[in-house]
Structure 1
Amino acid sequence: MRRPSPPAPPAPPVQPVVLGGDIGAYSLARAAHEAYGVRTTVVSSFATGPVRRSRVVDHVVEPGVDEPEVAVAVLRRLADRHEAEGSGAPLLLLGSADRAVRLLVENRADLEDRYVLPYVGRDLLDRMTDKEGFGAVCAELGIPSPRTVVVDVQRDARAAGGPGVDVGRTVGGGDPLTFPVIAKAASTTAYAGVSFPGKQKVFQVAGAAELDDLVDVLARAGYQGTFLVQDLVPGDDAGMRILTCYSDRRARVRFSSFGRVLLEEHTPGALGNPAGIVTGGGAEVAEQATRLLEHVGWTGYANFDLKVDPRDGRAVFFELNPRLGRSNYYVTASGQNPLELYVREHLQGLDPLPPGAPALADAERLYTVLPPALLLRYVADPALRARVRSLVRSGRAVDPLRYRPERDPRRLAYVAAAHLNQVRKFREHYPLERARAVRAEAEALTRRAGA
């Protein structure tokens, strides 16, 4: 007698698809593999190192995928193929960068019949990812944010016939800004569309003439948005903090993960991205973020950049990113796999937070994309340096690219080379002498402010 065929294994609860090929995309794929044993489909415009030759990624290279019509076409084609293969797993579509999230939100009508898109609507996205709009909400709720002057580039630039920048025109009529100041685009999406020599994510500007020159360059480059000039909060990278929150479909914040940044990247294109984070703590800022997110009706993940102002000890909120951040693996390291909340709520109809999971992640871990020896060179505080060493020695340090199932020798060679390249990049763009000078300058600014 012929034995009956064994039953087919159950379909996995999710098939993730990520638009964008950076280390944040790989971190999402790793989290999905850890939680559900699935390979993530990653779509990017060229073959990127973090996802190339990965055993947990199916990499689709599609030139021009940053354009909406190309992205929609390839994503629908992938959905057709997935349906034909008959796995039965629902498709969860995520973006690994702000621009990718915006593309998905703006083209939701052409995608949501095939994918689950766990993002807010366009109006709320526009309001909260515009740094000017975000600052206005912070002011309304009494949440610390930097004093700000809003520069309409095409109106104010001398190159366009304008008067230049008036640093006394602060939002809300506060005290005038004093130099040095920080200058950055109000909308990262609009800023991504312009190119000019010396372009950076964030500029530190020493004086009025330099600021006017920068705005002139922006005007000539064709930038149509607003630029924000803000109070420079003293302190080096070690003053930065990161916070990630998850809000359920009823716009209630259910989970938060906080981290103390040790060091940021300093190459022009990646300036400001955390390179080392110690997880844990953050109850006070999580409460402030909860008030903000629930006030505006946010759903899904939100990622905040903050900095502790040494002049008064307050954590200052800089911006909201509408997604899991580029360094999102710090959330996984802190004790809660972030994909699990999406899957439980949007695909399984369950409460997003697993039973017994803390609402504020409490595991202390070290997240780093740098060799620990390089990271430790830049940690100035002796107690913090000892804490970092202890995390490394006790096996509580994680690097998102170092994942045991990844055994392709070519990929292992890439990861090793990437770490060696970090040494070169820091030597070139942020040598230790400069880091010490930045720290000394910040201490001097703090002393002057307290005098």
Structure 2
Amino acid sequence: MGNETRVMLTHGWCRSSYSALRGLARRGVPVVVADTARVGMCQASRLTRGRGRYRSPYADPDGFVDDIAALCERHRIGLLLPGHEEGELLAQAREAGRLPAGVSLPLANVDSLVRVNDKDRISRLARDLDVPVAPIVDYRTPAEAGVRTDSTREYVARARRGNSSKGVRFARGGAALTAALERMVDDFALDPARLPIVQECVAGDGWGVSCLYWYGERIASFTHHRLQEKIATGGTSTLRVSAAHPSLEADAHRLLDALGWHGLAMLEFKFDPTSGRHVFIEINPRLWGSIDLALSAGVNFPWLLYLAETRGPAVARAHFRPGRSGVVSRWLLGDLLRRLDLLRRGRLRDGLGVDGTRAHAYDDFKLDDPLVLFGEALYYLAKGVTMHSLNPVEAGMVR
């Protein structure tokens, strides 16, 4: 294990990157972490072999790429693993020859990432492939969206680019939807040629199907059911359980097969247990926030990705075993934020009550690496003080 390729993780403050750090480090892989911030989960971890900082990929994309290249040179990095949305920018840098020679980036090509990151384009592709999606409203202006919708129905408008609950608005049809879309255009300075995708709201629980593909061939797959989410209207999960769901998995695999996918991806669905129907929501073509559940259930996606890149997909496939069902994981700090959101909405019983669900693992609390929880809390505290928000939207993040 002493000759393992050195890995650099970006977006080091958050849970997804920390889970990747943990999954690699426990296999003896040396990992360097980088971020715009000094504090965070990976920064506080005893597993980290090195740390670095870079300029914001939103505010200064060229400076970000220059910083990443310099960090790769300084730390003798052989594999670069993006922790969040900066993957598309790094893929562009790879194709432009801006990354150092010898640094691999196990991501899909730029065209595939652009398509998947666009919620409108990927939803229409899913529909064309007979993967169920919520009804899409076709419109050219916010006013036309109002005319084409029913004022008695609920709709969701999502910016074509954005993560978690950022860039998402709910409204009834008609004039209310027109007003919501106009506010979105103003709030996020959206391009009129890239208006949000509007769909009818559908009932159901959140599910995720996570996969590793290698040049179009599936290596690993894992499914989870969301039990709780950070905010009442949806978004990042705070409690989830591993569970099989063959119909969701079949549609997820069909979509990734059609894309000829390469790398990691997590596909989100809603499933209505009453009707037995499901709809596709979106693809996250990167590490995802609940990835610690997969590791806890026995599917070490970061290690499998590393094996595929450094030793070949056959080796990675040989190491894959289906995840255990019934494993529950919780995001501890996220659960606190969820309760605060419920209290803010006046739901005192839900916010203060005990849910009774026992977690087998926590995203951000590990007895053998206890400082990561403090690193995460310090990051949120710093954001709250400097940006007056625990979930700030940086310019260019929603578009």
Instruction: Give TM class, smaller chain.
Output: 0.7 to 0.9
Q: Distance in 2 between matches of 1:419 and 1:79?
A: 27
Q: 1:242 aligns with which of 208, 216, 241?
A: 208
How do 1:4-403 residues align onto structure 2 when only pairs under 5 Å count? 10-12=2-4, 14-21=5-12, 22-36=14-28, 38=30, 40-57=31-48, 58-66=50-58, 67-83=60-76, 91-98=78-85, 100-108=86-94, 109-111=97-99, 113-152=101-140, 156-157=141-142, 163-166=143-146, 168=148, 179-188=153-162, 200-221=166-187, 222-224=189-191, 225-235=194-204, 239-249=205-215, 251-266=216-231, 272-310=235-273, 312-355=275-318, 357-358=320-321, 360-370=322-332, 388-389=357-358, 392=359, 397-403=360-366
Q: What SS class does the counterpart of residue 16 from structure 2 fall into?
A: helix
Unaligned runs of 5+ in 2: 340-348, 382-389, 391-399
Against the structure 1 CA distance between its residues 361 and 69, is the aligned structure 2 distance closer, same or farther, given a 3 Å change threshold?
A: same
Letter in 1 for 2:190: Y
Residue by residue, what CA displacement relative to the aligned partner does 1:316-354 show, whole Å, maximum 9, x if unpaired? 110011112122212212211112221221111251535
Length-normalised TM-score, structure 2: 0.80
Cα deviation, residue 201, structure 1 = 3.4
Cα deviation, residue 33, structure 1 = 1.4
Alpha carbons 2:40, 2:378 under 8 Å: kept: no
Alpha carbons 1:279, 1:363 under 8 Å: kept: yes
Letter in 2 for 1:332: L
Residue by residue, what CA displacement relative to the aligned partner does 1:255-301 show, whole Å, maximum 9, x if unpaired? 11110101111299xx6011111013122211211111111211111
Alpha carbons 1:335, 1:363 under 8 Å: kept: no
Residue by residue, what CA displacement relative to the aligned partner does 1:135-185 show, whole Å, maximum 9, x if unpaired? 222112211111111454xxx14xxxxx4424637xxxxxx7952111111
Against the structure 1 CA distance between its residues 216 and 418, is the aligned structure 2 distance closer, same or farther, given a 3 Å change threshold?
A: closer
Q: Percent identity?
A: 22
Residues paired across the two proteins, number: 363
Greater RCO, 1 or 2 (C-alpha within 8 Å, sep 6+): 2
Larger radius of gyration: 1
Alpha carbons 2:93, 2:99 under 8 Å: kept: yes
Cα deviation, residue 71, structure 1 = 2.0
Unaligned runs of 5+ in 1: 1-8, 84-89, 158-162, 170-175, 193-198, 421-428, 430-451
Q: Distance in 2 between matches of 1:366 and 1:97?
A: 24
Q: Distance in 1 between matches of 2:10 and 2:330?
A: 23
Against the structure 1 CA distance between its residues 378 and 307, is the aligned structure 2 distance closer, same or farther, given a 3 Å change threshold?
A: farther
Q: Distance in 2 between matches of 1:338 and 1:302?
A: 10
Task: Provide the aligned C-alpha RMSD in A.
Answer: 3.4
Q: Distance in 2 between matches of 1:314 and 1:416?
A: 39
Alpha carbons 2:267, 2:282 under 8 Å: kept: yes
Alpha carbons 2:230, 2:334 under 8 Å: kept: no
